[in-house]
Amino acid sequence: MSHVLAAVAWPYANGPRHIGHVSGFGVPSDVFSRYMRMAGHDVLMVSGTDEHGTPIQVQADKEGVTPRELADRYNRVIVEDLHGLGLSYDLFTRTTTGNHYAVVQQIFEGLYANGYIVPKVAMGAISPSTGRTLPDRYIEGTCPICGYDGARGDQCDNCGNQLDPVDLINPRSKINGETPKFVETEHFFLDLPAFAQALGKWLDTREGWRTNVLRFSKNLLDDLQPRAITRDLEWGVPIPLDGWRDRGDKRIYVWFDAVIGYLSASIEWARRSGDPDAWRRWWAADGEGRDAGGYYFMGKDNIVFHSVIWPALLLGYSGEGDKGGEPGELGRLNLPTEVVSSEFLTMEGRKFSSSRQVVIYVRDFLARYDADALRYFIAVAGPESNDTDFTWAEFLRRNNDELVAGWGNLVNRSISLAAKNFGAVPPVDPAGLTPADEALLATARAGFDTVGELIGRHRQKQAIGEAMRVVAEANRYLSDQAPWKLKGDDDKPRMGTILHVALQVVSDANTLLTPFLPHSAQKVHELLGGTGVHAPMPSIVEVADLDGGPAYPVLTGDYTVGARWESVPLPAGRPLAAPKPVFRKLDPSIVDEELARLAE
């Protein structure tokens, strides 16, 4: 496989994102993409902000702004946060672009033409006093599933289940408190049961998935129901059918448009690249994308959309459900290769909650700490396969004892000693390498296979553990060899050899850690006398909407440059930069300060 699609969950643009969000999908997808690029794959990493749906409309109503204005605000905040973390998106866009609308409508039309979208009469609410349609967001009542009293017409924010207004117990209008009247109204439904067989067959061929994801997905197939894909709402993608296109009160449901974002963002990226067909290399099942891999990253609450609903849309568009059909004009499209779901991060033993202030926003975190300190914590202690608790005490310990005292110390003492005694990378003594030298070099070189293989299988915790094991062995080697004692003229060649070996291992370990710690990897590269880009970074670019809409910021970058996934011999005599610390040691007082902020 050479083409790799990294499809990253779309953050919802109704507020700033907290570190729980980015630890589930943001950082892990970046680690994977950076490694795959370094290993020679052609990676396309795409996502954007998810901006439609009732919650954005409700919040915009509350603030007296338009939903577009609200989405503009948080799109920008989220773009800046992801940029601050160094997440290497080829394109991070949004769902309110002309391109996204067009692709969503194209997929809708293809599914409709193949018979997988069916109109169905459902019960819709009207206001008895005005006789007008009452949008979902203006209906409130008790959730029939969990009993929560503030559930909305389309969703319960307490248990997260999708609802229909007619299901609410004691429904009432949020506008004037009256009980809505339910009348028959037409909506469109996705015929999910028509995909049960095709999905089952496909899931049976999946290899390497986390077992809980596969088991959960297969269980869902036993009870697939037709699912509403339109709502009584004004904010969203219009329904592309005659008689519906111009209706102001019905829109495509937000979940339907958001999952199509992976495809629309790929198409937008291609259109911006100057080759509008370039997206096919990752998507065209019968063409250039035949051997491509598609990896989807998300939190566990989103598995159903990626392992069942999105594949169903792709199957239906390609004409491969029970009703058959023809592929739409984009051609047959690739299904996901793997759905990589993470578990949840909690905060000091509690669930993240913006309303209850149990939260640390990415922006606030980055204002006080370095991006790589957070990336390191997420890699070694994040919610990869278990729910995990973020505590400030543990963050402090990981930062100070492992990042600073382990990796930072190795970099600092080997470069300082070499710079002070040689001013450059010292040569290897003609007397040659000892078995201890050889053993350490071999350990570092072997890391490229083990660490790479683990990242490729989404075992990032183990992968960074292996990279840090190389660091620990190098620190032990330096302590054992004690080059600082070899100051006499006779001893200096051996001192040079030891430091040459140590610097080579620093260079190798730095490459192994680059997918995890790209900001510091660039610094270490420069301390070792390297020039140019080692770890490419994304930039924020203001772009015009390709179809005439308002301009917006995207994250993008040139990631064809930078280090490869291999050991590069350090040339003797290369000047070393003046050493300076790569990581910041944190004062233990930050723990109490942060806990006090949480309690405010």
How many CB atoms are closer than 10 A to CB 202? 19
- From residue 213, alpha-carbon distances to 216, 283, 340, 388, 406 in Å are 5, 23, 8, 18, 35
d(CA 589, CA 595): 10
Stretch that binds Zn ion, among 156-164, 285-293, 446-454, 471-479 (CB under 5 A): 156-164
d(CA 295, CA 304): 15
Whose tokens are 């290899």? That residue is: 207
Structure token pair of residue 416: 């300082």
Of residues 159 and 436, the one with the C-beta less far from Zn ion = 159
Cβ at position 58, least distance to Zn ion in Å: 17
Cβ at position 303, least distance to Zn ion in Å: 19
Size of the residue set binding Zn ion (CB under 5 A): 7
* Residue of 5, 125, 139, 156 that binds Zn ion (CB under 5 A): 156
Encode 380-411: b = buried (16+ Cβ within 10 Å), e = exposed.
bbbbbeeebebbbebbbbbbbebbbebbbbbb
* Residue of 42, 148, 394, 459 that binds Zn ion (CB under 5 A): 148
d(CA 556, CA 564): 20
Q: 3-state class of 43 per DSSP?
A: strand
Cβ at position 351, least distance to Zn ion in Å: 15
Q: Closest Cα to residue 261, out of 320, 305, 198, 321?
A: 305
Amino acid at 148: Y
Of residues 159 and 595, the one with the C-beta less far from Zn ion = 159
Compose the 53-82 pattern: x for residues touching Zn ion by CB under 5 A, - for all others.
------------------------------
Of residues 142 and 443, the one with the C-beta less far from Zn ion = 142
Cβ at position 136, least distance to Zn ion in Å: 15
Cβ at position 140, least distance to Zn ion in Å: 12
Footprint on residues 107-146 left by Zn ion (CB under 5 A): 143, 145-146
Footprint on residues 493-522 left by Zn ion (CB under 5 A): none
Of residues 124 and 141, the one with the C-beta less far from Zn ion = 141
Q: 3-state class of 284 per DSSP?
A: strand
Rule CB under 5 A: is residue 169 a binding residue for Zn ion? no
Cβ at position 387, least distance to Zn ion in Å: 21
Of residues 129 and 353, the one with the C-beta less far from Zn ion = 353
Rule CB under 5 A: is residue 198 a binding residue for Zn ion? no
Rule CB under 5 A: is residue 158 a binding residue for Zn ion? yes
Stretch that binds Zn ion, among 147-155, 317-325, 366-374, 449-457 (CB under 5 A): 147-155
Of residues 27 and 143, the one with the C-beta less far from Zn ion = 143
In the chain, how long is the greatest CA-to-CA distance? 99
Of residues 139 and 419, the one with the C-beta less far from Zn ion = 139
Cβ at position 344, least distance to Zn ion in Å: 18
Which residues are within 8 A (CB) of 467 and not within 5 positions of it... i.e. 6 or more apart?
447, 451, 509, 512, 513, 516
Of residues 301 and 326, the one with the C-beta less far from Zn ion = 301
How many CB atoms are closer than 10 A to CB 299? 18
d(CA 330, CA 276): 12
d(CA 4, CA 297): 13
Of residues 143 and 470, the one with the C-beta less far from Zn ion = 143
- The DSSP symbol for 424 reads B
Which residues are within 8 A (CB) of 461 and not within 5 positions of it... i.e. 6 or more apart?
379, 380, 381, 382, 384, 385
d(CA 251, CA 239): 6
d(CA 143, CA 156): 6
Cβ at position 135, least distance to Zn ion in Å: 20
Of residues 1 and 146, the one with the C-beta less far from Zn ion = 146
Of residues 160 and 550, the one with the C-beta less far from Zn ion = 160
Cβ at position 157, least distance to Zn ion in Å: 8
Q: 3-state class of 338 per DSSP?
A: strand
What is the distance, to the nearest Å, from the Cα of residue 4 to the centroid of all Cα atoms in its chain? 15
d(CA 363, CA 355): 17
Cβ at position 184, least distance to Zn ion in Å: 26
Cβ at position 292, least distance to Zn ion in Å: 39
Of residues 158 and 346, the one with the C-beta less far from Zn ion = 158
Cβ at position 564, least distance to Zn ion in Å: 50
d(CA 488, CA 576): 22
Q: 3-state class of 341 per DSSP?
A: strand
Cβ at position 127, least distance to Zn ion in Å: 24
* Residue of 1, 159, 169, 568 that binds Zn ion (CB under 5 A): 159
Q: 3-state class of 583 per DSSP?
A: coil
Q: Closest Cα to residue 49, out of 234, 240, 254?
A: 254
Of residues 148 and 344, the one with the C-beta less far from Zn ion = 148
Stretch that binds Zn ion, among 151-159, 167-175, 491-499, 511-519 (CB under 5 A): 151-159
Q: 3-state class of 102 per DSSP?
A: helix
The residues binding Zn ion (CB under 5 A) are: 143, 145-146, 148, 156, 158-159
